Amino acid sequence: MTYQHALVNYLETYRKKHRLTIDAFIEDVTSQRSYYRYIELTQDLPMDVLLAFTSKYDFDLKELLDFLSDTPDVEFYLAKIRRFKRLKRHQYIDSYVHTIKDYVTEDQEYFLQSMLRDEDPLTCFQQYFKTDLIDELIQRYESGKHQPLILEYMIDLGATYLLENELVLLKKVTDFLDTIRKQSSDRYLDYPATLFLAHIHKENKQLMINFMLSHISLHLFFNDQESFKSYIEKMNLQFQLDFPSFFIEIIVKNFT
Amino acid sequence: MTTENWLYDIETLRIERKINQALFLKEIVSDRQYRRYLNGESTPTLTIFLKLLERLNYTLPTFLTYLETKKMKHNQQFDQLRFAMIDFDYTTSKVLIKDIKSMQLSNDQIETLRLYETLIDFYEKLGQNEQLDKTRVENILNETNVLSLLNHTYYSSSTFSLVNLLMNKIFNLLDQEKQQRFLSFYLDFIEDRKFVLDGDTLENKQMVYSYYVSAIYGRSYISEAETKKGGQLIKDAILLTKETLMSYNLMALNYLNSSMCYLHHLNEDAKKSLFYTFMSVFGTGNSEGILPSFKLAFSQVTTSQVILKDFKDELKRHLEKDTYYQEEVLSYNDLSTCAG
């Protein structure tokens, strides 16, 4: 189905559902004769007419197109697969694979199979994007392409730089993730970002504690593999602090 | 949003990528016609527009994502403000509003700022005069036209979010008939009579469940059937977060579960949910901004002493024993025992 076909189908369904006559529906947008030609696909829909409809009926065009699209957003699902692999919530992965299996390109198929075989995620990403340069990845993100997948790549890069104590590179990744998470409703991003931020701000104790309290709390919800008890013991040891006492301090302050 | 602006973006991308114009337009449209498009003297058809995008290796959705990302960079502060409003962080909101006012804004943004200021003012004066509160709620309803928004069938996520934000802030002060309209609004999504067009279907489902449950438990009168249904939906919505990863919803859902359990003296479940409510508050990184609202909310169902003791006990339990959230959720009481 072409865009025009999908769009006019949508417009017609909307019109009928709202019991609008064609005249009322197209008022101030186009002529009746032209409208019939668009819905019969005998005339191309001009862009300004399309935009006039979306504006008149308060449709967001991107949302509308996503809704109408028959094809799944393959990279969105690949990113979800990587995320749920990381979270070890394997039960969802099969359905994502099933959703995209008929639509993947050769490169995507290779990336998917490597991930499913639990190969090193950074190698999978590097082969797919042909780069591991942070600036280049940010530039691609800003161009509007590969966004969900680049986010997951950045999270994996950050975790690696943290492990290798590459603080300059970690800061670059963290700055990017911190900006994106503030503009996003994707709250999972807070989980890795707050850990990276805590390490970068180790010198500023109060700031570091705030990031760690956030990170440790999110660990409860985002990690099914390692218990809260075991994780908090590890973090207490790593930072030489008693994080539970800070939780209590804040609750006591607010509830007495 | 105009075609001319979009063509200007296409032309900018072409120049940035150093693509020769003749090559770019070859077999799509003439140079002359393209100039007419750029000058706004003529409009391309959808087919031509899509072909031009294809030459730049864009589809319409990826091109729109590119435009959104570009816009987002300019609107970073505006997004921060939106999240501060959702978090009830009015101190930060006021600072951001002051900064944003010095920027060049669209009419929509000016309208939104005005709405945010009204809501902040409303909250700061809330409780001083009951009659005045009701009048101001009526004013907000009139200014935002939110009740007529409830009658649509299809919603963009931004419109849906606006309804949710307003519902959250003013619901308790609405009369029974208007509260019922909000309840029906959410029920229509659950029963597939209304639709959110964009975004992740599962996330939308979770939001609808959460807001429906908030709306049920936000009223003074709750029937037995509603208590049962609300309780089941709370549990369903919490379980959905395993896939949606929406930690903010966990905060609201656990609060609802906890307060309903305190109200019905199901103390074991109440303190479990209380702990998870507070941990999701910590997760936001803005505990100082959010906890005062919970102090007020929990004061309806229990005392500060109980809250302090229950939180400490639960923290101790989690520090002494290996616990896993999703496993604990499965054994949550679904509130059906509260019915009746």
For chain B, the average pLDDT equals 84
- Does residue A17 belong to the interface with chain B, where contact is any CB pair within 8 Å? yes
Q: What residues does each domain of chain A span?
A: 3-68
- Whether pLDDT at A31 is above 50: yes
In CATH terms, the fold of domain A3-68 is: 434 Repressor (Amino-terminal Domain) (1.10.260)
User: Which residue, among B88, B80, B78, B84, has the nearest Cα to B252 in the 3D structure?
Assistant: B88
Q: What is the pLDDT of residue B37?
A: 87
Nearest residue, CB atoms, A14 vs list B67, B76, B154: B154
User: Are A46 and B76 a contacting pair at CB < 8 A?
Assistant: no
Q: Average the pLDDT over each of B34-38, B213-217, B226-230, B252-256 and give the range with the smallest value.
A: B226-230
Q: For residue B238, which amino acid is it? A: I
What is the DSSP code string of B69-123?
HHHHHHTHHHHHHHHHHHTT-HHHHHHHHHHHHTS---HHHHHHHHHHHHHHHHH
Taking each helix axis from N to C end, the angle separating A47-56 and A61-68, rounded to the nearest 10 degrees, works out to 100
- Does residue A13 belong to the interface with chain B, where contact is any CB pair within 8 Å? no
> Which DSSP state fits A45?
P
Q: What is the pLDDT of residue B39?
A: 84
Q: What is the pLDDT of residue A60?
A: 64
Q: For residue B158, which amino acid is it? A: S
Per-residue confidence band for B198, with pLDDT thresholds at 50, 70 and 90: low
User: From the candidates B54, B73, B156, which should be mutated to test the interface with A, based on the most A CB atoms within 10 A?
Assistant: B156
Answer whether B219's CB lies under 8 Å from B251's CB.
no
Q: Kindly list the residues from chain A whose CB atom is less than 8 angstroms away from the CB atom of residue B323.
A: 227-229
- Mean pLDDT over A175-202 rounds to 92
Q: Average the pLDDT over each of A234-243, B233-242, B315-324 and give the range with the smallest value.
A: B233-242
Q: Kindly list the residues from chain B whose CB atom is less than 8 angstroms away from the CB atom of residue A251.
A: 278, 291, 307-308, 311-312
Query: What is the C-alpha separation between A36 and A41, in angstroms, rounded?
Result: 8
Q: How far B226 CA lies from chain A's nearest CA (Å)? A: 28
- Whether pLDDT at B261 is above 60: yes
Nearest residue, CB atoms, B287 vs list A61, A144, A250: A250
Query: What is the C-alpha separation between A20 and B278, in angstroms, rounded?
Result: 49
User: Which residue, among B198, B197, B141, B200, has the nearest Cα to B167 in the 3D structure?
Assistant: B141
Top-confidence residue, B191 or B313? B313
Q: Kindly list the residues from chain A whose CB atom is less than 8 angstroms away from the CB atom of residue B315.
A: 244, 247-248
User: From the candidates B17, B46, B155, which should be mutated to test the interface with A, based on the most A CB atoms within 10 A?
Assistant: B46
Q: Kindly list the residues from chain B whose CB atom is less than 8 angstroms away from the CB atom of residue A47.
A: 3, 6, 43-46, 49
Predicted ipTM of the assembly: 0.78
Answer whether B85's CB lies under 8 Å from B93's CB.
yes
Q: What is the pLDDT of residue B199?
A: 65
Query: What is the C-alpha separation between A160 and A124, in angstroms, rounded?
Result: 14
Q: What is the pLDDT of residues B49-68, one digit of tens each?
A: 888 988 888 877 778 778 77
Q: How far A75 CA lies from chain B's nearest CA (Å)? A: 12
Q: What is the pLDDT of residue A111?
A: 96
Q: What is the pLDDT of residues B13-28, one digit of tens each?
A: 898 888 889 889 998 9
Q: What is the pLDDT of residue A69?
A: 60
User: Are B198 and A62 a contacting pair at CB < 8 A?
Assistant: yes
User: Are B315 and A248 a contacting pair at CB < 8 A?
Assistant: yes
Q: What is the pLDDT of residue B290?
A: 85
Q: What is the pLDDT of residue A97?
A: 94
Q: Kindly list the residues from chain B whose CB atom is less than 8 angstroms away from the CB atom of residue A16.
A: none
User: Are A67 and B197 a contacting pair at CB < 8 A?
Assistant: yes
- Does residue A41 belong to the interface with chain B, where contact is any CB pair within 8 Å? no
Per-residue confidence band for A64, with pLDDT thresholds at 50, 70 and 90: low
Q: What is the three-state SS of B254-287?
A: HHHHHHHHHHCCCHHHHHHHHHHHHHHHHHHCCH
Taking CA atoms, what residue in B is nearest to A253? B288
The pairing of beta strand B154-155 with beta strand B195-196: parallel
Per-residue confidence band for B340, with pLDDT thresholds at 50, 70 and 90: very low
Nearest residue, CB atoms, A251 vs list B47, B243, B308: B308
Length of chain B: 340
Query: What is the C-alpha separation between B22 and B27, in angstroms, rounded?
Result: 10
User: Which residue, among A107, A81, A78, A215, has the nearest Cα to A158 in the 3D structure?
Assistant: A215
Strand partners, A46: B45
Q: Kindly list the residues from chain B whose CB atom is less than 8 angstroms away from the CB atom of residue A60.
A: 156-158, 197-198
- Mean pLDDT over B235-250 rounds to 85
Q: How far B248 CA lies from chain A's nearest CA (Å)? A: 7
Q: What is the pLDDT of residue B165?
A: 83
> Which DSSP state fits A29?
T
Taking CA atoms, what residue in B is nearest to A63? B198
Taking CA atoms, what residue in B is nearest to A146? B62
Residue B138, judged by CB atoms within 10 A of its CB (0-12, 13-18, 19+), counts as middle
Top-confidence residue, A77 or B71? A77
User: From the candidates B284, B325, B326, which should be mutated to test the interface with A, based on the most A CB atoms within 10 A?
Assistant: B325
Answer whether B25's CB lies under 8 Å from B31's CB.
yes
Top-confidence residue, B5 or A208? A208
Q: Select the highest-mean-pLDDT range: A50-64, A110-124, B145-159, B208-222.
A: A110-124
Q: What is the pLDDT of residue A67?
A: 58
User: Are B157 and A63 a contacting pair at CB < 8 A?
Assistant: yes
Q: What is the pLDDT of residue B1?
A: 54
Nearest residue, CB atoms, A247 vs list B276, B315, B320: B315
Q: What is the pLDDT of residues A140-178, one digit of tens each?
A: 998 877 899 999 999 999 999 999 999 999 999 999 999
- Mean pLDDT over B210-224 rounds to 81
Q: How far A114 CA lies from chain B's nearest CA (Å)? A: 22
Per-residue confidence band for B248, with pLDDT thresholds at 50, 70 and 90: confident
List, as ranges, residues 176-235 from A with C-beta within 8 Å of B.
179, 182-183, 186-188, 190, 194, 210-211, 213-214, 216-218, 220-222, 224, 227-230, 232
- Does residue A124 belong to the interface with chain B, where contact is any CB pair within 8 Å? no
- Does residue A63 belong to the interface with chain B, where contact is any CB pair within 8 Å? yes
Taking CA atoms, what residue in A is nearest to B322? A227
Backbone angles phi, psi at B95, to 5 degrees: -65, -45
User: Which residue, among B82, B140, B145, B143, has the nearest Cα to B109 in the 3D structure?
Assistant: B82
User: Are A183 and B62 a contacting pair at CB < 8 A?
Assistant: no
User: Are B197 and A252 a contacting pair at CB < 8 A?
Assistant: no
Q: How far B17 CA lies from chain A's nearest CA (Å)? A: 12
Strand partners, B226: none
Q: Kindly list the residues from chain B whose CB atom is less than 8 angstroms away from the CB atom of residue A144.
A: 58, 62-69
What is the DSSP code string of A123-154?
HHHHHHHS---HHHHHHHHHTTSSHHHHHHHH
Query: What is the C-alpha separation between B189 and B200, in angstroms, rounded?
Result: 14
User: From the candidates A2, A20, A63, which should be mutated to test the interface with B, based on the most B CB atoms within 10 A?
Assistant: A63
